[in-house]
Structure 1
Amino acid sequence: MLRIAICDDETAARDALRFQLEKIIDDETEEIVYEFSSGVNAEKWLRKYPGQIDLLFLDVEMNGMNGMETAEKIRAFDENLLIVFVTGYQDYVFDGYRVGALDYVMKPVGVQRLREVYDRVKHILKERMQKTFIVKNSDGVYRFQYDDIFYFYSDRRLVNLVTVRGIYPFYEKLDVLEEKLGNSFVRIHQRYLVNGKKVLHIGRTSLDILGQDRQLQTLPISRALKETASTKLARMMLADG
């Protein structure tokens, strides 16, 4: 499923790009989900709903907060969103690399050029989906790359996913998650399942790990799981080093 957004302060430009995109979208699960008329609106919405959009076509020459400034703000909380700049001036092309833009298209956008970008995006997302975790709760559907996840902890019937962007509760059992997520995640306690890549220090009865807002947090290691968990985590830390 590919979810696309367009951000341009000109209605005619948004309509033109949508029209061209609709010519190449041939899968019912792929759609243009949102349109934004300003960089401010796009940044606020994307911050509130992380993982809802896969691809953003972002106009560079917008009034107020331009496309480059918008991209810089988005990158402060989302490193994974695929951004393609839309511009009428060749001069802006190379500036996109400093905000991790995937590509750019020139106005007026042609179908052939758009298809090239579209195929590239689908290839990237296909690879990403192999390490993507989907959360469904009462607020909506969120998608996270494994590298964005710090740890999971259970609280009664709920499991909470902890990321740099916040905490996302959903209904599941840690046992099921442990089996589903594989070797990258290690069970350290009846209530905690951690991303081994985010562990900074292993102690006798606890460990230090990155948490929300990248703040250091200390989590307990249960006596029953200490030997197995410590061995797995130590191997992962040595491999990364």
Structure 2
Amino acid sequence: MVKIGICDDEPQMIKLLSQTLEQVLQLQGIEYEIWEYASGEELTAGIACLDIDILFLDIEMRILDGIETAKRLRKKGMKGIIIFVTAHPDFVFQGYEVHAFHYILKPYRKEKIAEVLTQALEELDLSKEQFFVIEQKAKIIRIPLSQTLAFQSDRRKVLAFVEEGTIDFYGKIDDVCCKLPSYFIRIHNRCIVNLNYVTTLEKDRCILGEHSFPVSRTFRQEVETAFARAMLKQ
């Protein structure tokens, strides 16, 4: 789980930033918590700040500004990523002293927030669980990718093979493929498998325990290379 902090003395700014961060994190299937702070004093008061992975910190706050807040956090031992938020780009250069990762200018642009957040997530060594988000009519399902064996298209639907069974949803296999980590590999126009579950690779079949999926000639060489690389890592 990624723990994200937002510190700003303007409630409306916190709300806008929080909403955008939630949209990006949910689309990426990342489990998260967002902690909100109305001042630098509140943020630095306890030890909870030491657990923050990514902090969005407003520079221009009353009493304790963002730069001084960041200095206190670093002095306390906070190792998380600090991203400064400011309406004045001239302030950004002060961030080097506290090892700021990036900055975002007000008023917010959703595209910039998404870009910086994605970079920060990549910077973190996320050994945390990753999820694939499935949207259905009445609900949204998040399936842990570490427990997902494969995805296979079936006409207008895609089947997700998980340890407990299968989950189907409307979608295209191409759209699924671009959202998966590198341990998933395309073996057919209609199928993607989790290399961590592959037990046997045959000439035209890929075996994952009780499941068998076809390997097409187009993807054969790439699958063989990926499977061999995965075996060497074990």
Provide the TM-score with structure 1 as the length reference: 0.49
Equivalent residue letter for 1:17: L
Structure-2 residue corresponding to 1:35: 36
Are 1:24 and 1:115, in contact at CA under 8 Å, matched by a contact in 2? yes
Whole-angstrom CA distance in 1 between matches of 2:88 and 2:3: 27
Are 1:20 and 1:110, in contact at CA under 8 Å, matched by a contact in 2? no
- Secondary structure at the aligned position of 1:58 is classed as strand
Structure-2 residue corresponding to 1:3: 3
Structure-1 residue corresponding to 2:104: 105
Equivalent residue letter for 2:69: T
Q: Which has the higher helix share?
A: 1
Deviations 1:164-186 (A, max 9, x none): xxxxxxxxxxxxxxxxxxxxxxx
Give the drift of 1:31: 2.6
Question: Residues 51 and 66 of structure 1: is their aligned pair in 2 closer, same or farther, counting only changes over 3 Å?
Answer: closer
Question: Residues 12 and 50 of structure 1: is their aligned pair in 2 closer, same or farther, counting only changes over 3 Å?
Answer: closer
- Secondary structure at the aligned position of 1:25 is classed as helix
Structure-1 residue corresponding to 2:21: 21
Give the drift of 1:19: 1.7
Deviations 1:50-100 (A, max 9, x none): 642101100000001000010000010225111100000011011111111
Unaligned runs of 5+ in 2: 129-234
Structure-2 residue corresponding to 1:93: 92
- Secondary structure at the aligned position of 1:70 is classed as helix
Are 1:60 and 1:85, in contact at CA under 8 Å, matched by a contact in 2? yes
Whole-angstrom CA distance in 2 between matches of 1:122 and 1:29: 10
Structure-2 residue corresponding to 1:75: 74
Equivalent residue letter for 2:16: A
- Secondary structure at the aligned position of 1:65 is classed as coil
Equivalent residue letter for 2:77: D
Are 1:50 and 1:78, in contact at CA under 8 Å, matched by a contact in 2? no
Give the drift of 1:49: 2.7
Equivalent residue letter for 2:118: D
Structure-1 residue corresponding to 2:51: 52
Whole-angstrom CA distance in 2 between matches of 1:68 and 1:51: 17
Are 2:70 and 2:98, in contact at CA under 8 Å, matched by a contact in 1? yes
- Secondary structure at the aligned position of 1:76 is classed as helix
Please identify runs of 4+ aligned residues in structure 1 that moved more than 4 A. none
Equivalent pairs counted in the alignment come to 127
Equivalent residue letter for 1:87: T
Identity of aligned residues (%): 35
Are 2:50 and 2:78, in contact at CA under 8 Å, matched by a contact in 1? no
Question: Residues 79 and 41 of structure 1: is their aligned pair in 2 closer, same or farther, counting only changes over 3 Å?
Answer: closer
Structure-2 residue corresponding to 1:206: none
Whole-angstrom CA distance in 2 between matches of 1:96 and 1:17: 20
Question: Residues 125 and 41 of structure 1: is their aligned pair in 2 closer, same or farther, counting only changes over 3 Å?
Answer: same
Structure-2 residue corresponding to 1:122: 121
Give the drift of 1:118: 1.2
Are 2:11 and 2:38, in contact at CA under 8 Å, matched by a contact in 1? yes
Written as runs of structure 1 = structure 2, the 5 A alignment for 1:130-141 is none
Larger radius of gyration: 2
- Secondary structure at the aligned position of 1:17 is classed as helix
Give the drift of 1:3: 1.2
Provide the TM-score with structure 2 as the length reference: 0.51
Whole-angstrom CA distance in 2 between matches of 1:15 and 1:33: 11
Are 1:20 and 1:109, in contact at CA under 8 Å, matched by a contact in 2? no
Unaligned runs of 5+ in 1: 131-241
Give the drift of 1:112: 1.3
- Secondary structure at the aligned position of 1:80 is classed as coil
